[in-house]
Chain A
Amino acid sequence: MMRGPSIIICLGVATWIATRQKAAGLIAPLPEALKWLTAYVTLWMKYPIITEMAEQPYTVASDSETSHDDKQSSFPDLALGIDIGTSKCSVAIWNGSHVELLRNTRNQKLMRSYVLFRDEIPTGGVSEELPHDDQEIFSGSAVFNMKRLIGRVDTDPVVHASKSLPFLVQTLDIGVRPFIAALVNNVWRSTSPEEVLAIFLVELKAMAEVQLKRPVRNVVLTIPVAFSRFQQTRIERACAMAGLQILRLMPEPTAVALLYAQQQQKGIQENMGSGCEKVAVIFNMGAGYCDVAVTATAGGVSQIKALLGCTVGGEDMLQNVMRRLVPDFGSLCSNHSMEAIKSLGLLRTVTQDAIHKLSTQSSVSINVDMSMGPKICCSLDQALFEAANKDVFQTCENLVRQCLFDAKVGAEDIDDVILVGGCTRIPKIRSLVLGLCKKESTCEGINPLEAAVCGAALEGAVASGISDPSGSLDLLTILVTPLSLGIRADGDKFIPIINRNTAVPSRKDMLFTTSHDNQTEALIVVYEGEGKTTEENHFLGYFKITGIPPGPKGSAEISICMDIDASNVLRVLAGAIFPSTQLPASPFIEVRMPTLDDGHGLCAQALTKMYGSSLGLCTVERKIPQ
């Protein structure tokens, strides 16, 4: 009875998504919208219970003893915590007394993240009775590793590394979004990482709605530290497409820090121990990213001292080993024939399996007969694995060292080492991190695969305004900026205004001046990152300020203020001021960043080509106040 109207609403929403995408410059032809529609309708047919539930008004549970289910309905807007991993996803929620991970129909807590485009309706396999096997997922019909691809341009090395994946990743190397396609009935059908992520999130959402027996809208997502603000907007878009509203985007190690803070708090309550400060190093390495954080925790407040991340993960190690096994790996990847895909898929399965086994065994024998390429029969041992991934381990080591340095923490100050993520099962990684922190063992009581999602669920409860009588939600993470934010000045230099590891919310301003005589306009080009020059950093946006009082170069004063507000939104406020009175020469311009849509690599080139340094800015020597 209720299904009719909901389908009509669906139709409306699907068409709206299509127009919205079009308006945003995203090519979304009508068939795309239809695909969405069918996906939604199928979900409706699959889960009629959701629509029926919607009819029931929410009942506010009485404050007396309530059963488990009643507790959930007593906070209808309680946010879900979702950890979208490069390889696996998980969903968790605060159930009134502790965090509970949701399981799919196959009773799995960790669900493999991919979307299979086999039939008309793409599926993420979250609620399928039978799991898709490696052969299907590596057949070219499934798109995975979307977290590594989302929001990246085709000049990005991570996108280039993704070309060895079974689905199609095509690059033109001009700074636009890469072309990504899945093989459907022997035709490469285009898609985008956002779309794939959205389809997967729709399935996760449906799964959660069935289990919680209520609509789900608010979520807290964890993201890698290395994500730029532009990539965050892509995640936001994917969530919007899936009908989810993001309450917070938490860097993964900070979610773990929140969980750690809660455990510390609990320990103090139980043992009546001292509430002294504990310093923990959190090392998180998954399939796609590696993050490090140093946190100082006391009284349920986790103060992040330093955050650092990079795009190195298990996927890189897998590729390095595959390269060792097959000499002409590159040519095998570039050849996208059915046979090559099949061989590559087989190789990927076998190698992945061998690496997993190597965490507990000293050596693994690999026997694989690929239809294309050589027959491989060898044994992989720790030494060979470590030699193949020397660079990866070196990167991890540098990351930990730099993070400890940034946090001004020595090995003797560290109380706990927390290792999370699938890759921390690798013996070499464990010994490396523990060695750098001079510790014998890792922190107990934290599940390496579930810590991030549990932290996200805790944050979801805190952000939804839930308070717990026992005080186990009396938590706070004081976040810091993972990357420096600044503008282009002094030619092509990147001048940070808000430095890395600044507590947010934050506001900083800086004075700049003109680079030419009688310059009345200036281009404010905003970047994010750690590189000395702008090319090494993430481009976020640009705008032009006008009305600078004419004069010899270096005489004008241009004030640029960067502000990260309570919702982690970055705004840039700029304008010229009269040096004598400090009053604005003309109205200031305030721009919310990032302003860019896709194809931002091209955009930076166009700006340089069009304006060169004619609208440039220069830094001002610090003046000593009288």
Chain B
Amino acid sequence: MTRSRCFVLRYSSRKKGRCLVQLPSPQPSTEMNGTLTLGALPVPGFRSAAILTSRPRQPMRTLAFAPAVALPAVSRSLYDVLQVKETASAAEIKSAYRSLAKRFHPDASAAAASPASGEEFIEIHRAYATLSDPSARAQYDLSMPRFEFSGRTWARTRRWETDQCW
């Protein structure tokens, strides 16, 4: 009888919960606020960018814990996460964040059809947190691994070493 459905008692979670939280990152101390202090940025290079871009995970761990979504590769920049150009204005970054949130936030109506686990949103929010803060964005831009980008990017960008000479 349908009526009995109404009295089903639920103490469990409202949505189906994720099965497991992943292991802590190898550099948790740098991860706490999403941004680094100045002292942590002596050399703009691949490694520090890797720390900033995303939580680096060792392959064996990601395998072992099989996260719900494909984790972004280390080379994926915060700009890529938000799907904006590196020259994007603050307003563009904000609106990109909003539209992505509408797609990936677990509470969003679009996500209701296929419940998002929240992993994507955490990543998007982390990117937004850095890029929406002018000083954090400037630091991040400095630490970007320029040599990985195409010549076009390279030609356009000034690096801080060269800035000193100008």
Complex interface: chain A residues within 8 A of B21 (CB): 507, 561, 563, 571, 573, 590
Size category of the B interface is: 35 or more
Classify the interface of chain A: helix, strand, loop or mixed.
mixed
Evaluate whether A248 and B29 lie within 8 angstroms (CB atoms) in the complex, with A465-B112, A476-B105, A565-B117 already known.
no
Complex interface: chain A residues within 8 A of B25 (CB): 509
Evaluate whether A478 and B24 lie within 8 angstroms (CB atoms) in the complex, with A511-B29, A565-B18, A567-B17 already known.
no
Complex interface: chain B residues within 8 A of A478 (CB): 101, 105
Complex interface: chain B residues within 8 A of A325 (CB): none
A544 within 8 A of B: no
B109 touches A511 (CB 8 A): no
Inter-chain CA distance A567–B16, complex, in Å, is 8
Evaluate whether A476 and B101 lie within 8 angstroms (CB atoms) in the complex, with A240-B9, A246-B14, A625-B48 already known.
yes
Closest B residue to A467 by beta carbon equals B109
- Which of these, B2, B58, B106, contacts A54 with CB under 8 Å? B2
> What are 20 inter-chain pairs, A to B, with CB distance below 8 A?
A2-B1, A9-B3, A16-B9, A216-B6, A217-B6, A237-B11, A241-B9, A245-B14, A277-B94, A474-B109, A476-B108, A509-B31, A559-B28, A566-B15, A566-B107, A567-B14, A573-B23, A622-B37, A625-B29, A625-B30
B98 touches A301 (CB 8 A): yes
Q: Which of A495-554 contact B (CB under 8 A)?
A: 503, 505-511
Q: Mark A208-236, 1 if CB is under 8 A from B, else 0.
A: 00000001110000000000000000001
Closest B residue to A564 by beta carbon equals B118
Task: Please indicate which of the listed interface residues B31, B113, B122 has the most CB atoms of chain A within 10 Å of its own CB.
Answer: B122
Closest Cβ–Cβ distance, residue A240 to chain B (whole Å): 5
Complex interface: chain B residues within 8 A of A298 (CB): 94-95, 98
Apart from A9-B3, A9-B4, what are 8 other A-B pairs with CB-CB below 8 Å?
Answer: A298-B98, A301-B98, A301-B101, A462-B109, A561-B24, A566-B106, A573-B23, A625-B47
Complex interface: chain B residues within 8 A of A51 (CB): 3
Complex interface: chain A residues within 8 A of B105 (CB): 476, 478
Complex interface: chain A residues within 8 A of B122 (CB): 505-507
B10 touches A245 (CB 8 A): yes
Evaluate whether A590 and B118 lie within 8 angstroms (CB atoms) in the complex, with A301-B98, A509-B31 already known.
no
B3 touches A54 (CB 8 A): yes
Q: Mark B92-129, 1 if CB is under 8 A from A, else 0.
A: 00110011011001111100110111100110010000
Evaluate whether A476 and B5 lie within 8 angstroms (CB atoms) in the complex, with A505-B118, A563-B21 already known.
no
- Which of these, B17, B109, B125, contacts A503 with CB under 8 Å? B125
Complex interface: chain B residues within 8 A of A584 (CB): 23
Task: Please indicate which of the listed interface residues B11, B30, B47, B118 has the most CB atoms of chain A within 10 Å of its own CB.
Answer: B118
Complex interface: chain A residues within 8 A of B95 (CB): 298-299
Complex interface: chain A residues within 8 A of B4 (CB): 6, 9
Inter-chain CA distance A68–B31, complex, in Å, is 52
Closest B residue to A497 by beta carbon equals B32
A475 within 8 A of B: yes
Q: Which of B29-75 contact A (CB under 8 A)?
A: 29-32, 37, 39-40, 47-48, 51, 58
B155 within 8 A of A: no
A577 touches B24 (CB 8 A): yes
Closest Cβ–Cβ distance, residue A598 to chain B (whole Å): 15
Closest Cβ–Cβ distance, residue A54 to chain B (whole Å): 4
A333 within 8 A of B: no
Closest Cβ–Cβ distance, residue A545 to chain B (whole Å): 13
- Which of these, B3, B29, B58, contacts A6 with CB under 8 Å? B3
Inter-chain CA distance A413–B18, complex, in Å, is 39
What residues of chain B have their CB less than 8 Å away from a CB belonging to chain A?
1-11, 13-15, 17-18, 20-21, 23-32, 37, 39-40, 47-48, 51, 58, 94-95, 98-99, 101-102, 105-109, 112-113, 115-118, 121-122, 125
Of all A-B residue pairs in the complex, the 8 with the closest CB atoms, nearest first, are A505-B118, A566-B106, A559-B24, A465-B112, A54-B3, A566-B118, A54-B2, A567-B15
Inter-chain CA distance A54–B27, complex, in Å, is 56
B102 touches A9 (CB 8 A): no
Complex interface: chain B residues within 8 A of A620 (CB): 29
A509 touches B40 (CB 8 A): no
Closest B residue to A300 by beta carbon equals B102
A247 touches B14 (CB 8 A): yes
Evaluate whether A13 and B7 lie within 8 angstroms (CB atoms) in the complex, with A505-B121, A571-B21 already known.
yes
Closest Cβ–Cβ distance, residue A504 to chain B (whole Å): 8
A272 within 8 A of B: no
A181 within 8 A of B: no
- Which of these, A16, A217, A462, contacts B112 with CB under 8 Å? A462
Complex interface: chain B residues within 8 A of A475 (CB): 109
Complex interface: chain A residues within 8 A of B27 (CB): 625
A383 within 8 A of B: no
- Which of these, A241, A303, A462, contacts B98 with CB under 8 Å? A303
Closest Cβ–Cβ distance, residue A282 to chain B (whole Å): 18
Complex interface: chain B residues within 8 A of A301 (CB): 98, 101-102
A509 touches B116 (CB 8 A): no
Complex interface: chain B residues within 8 A of A465 (CB): 109, 112-113
Closest A residue to B128 by beta carbon equals A503
Inter-chain CA distance A277–B92, complex, in Å, is 12
A473 touches B109 (CB 8 A): yes
Inter-chain CA distance A624–B39, complex, in Å, is 8
Evaluate whether A624 and B40 lie within 8 angstroms (CB atoms) in the complex, with A243-B9, A476-B105 already known.
yes
Closest A residue to B20 by beta carbon equals A590
Inter-chain CA distance A467–B20, complex, in Å, is 31
B7 touches A9 (CB 8 A): yes
B1 touches A54 (CB 8 A): yes
Evaluate whether A625 and B51 lie within 8 angstroms (CB atoms) in the complex, with A243-B9, A567-B13 already known.
yes
- Which of these, B11, B17, B99, contacts A569 with CB under 8 Å? B17
Inter-chain CA distance A298–B97, complex, in Å, is 11
Complex interface: chain B residues within 8 A of A290 (CB): none
Closest A residue to B120 by beta carbon equals A505
A453 within 8 A of B: no
Inter-chain CA distance A90–B125, complex, in Å, is 34
- Which of these, A507, A563, A569, A624, contacts B13 with CB under 8 Å? A569
A365 within 8 A of B: no
Complex interface: chain B residues within 8 A of A582 (CB): 26, 58
Closest Cβ–Cβ distance, residue B122 to chain A (whole Å): 6
A625 touches B40 (CB 8 A): yes
A588 within 8 A of B: yes
Closest Cβ–Cβ distance, residue A80 to chain B (whole Å): 12
Q: Mark A296-308, 1 if CB is under 8 A from B, else 0.
A: 0011110100000
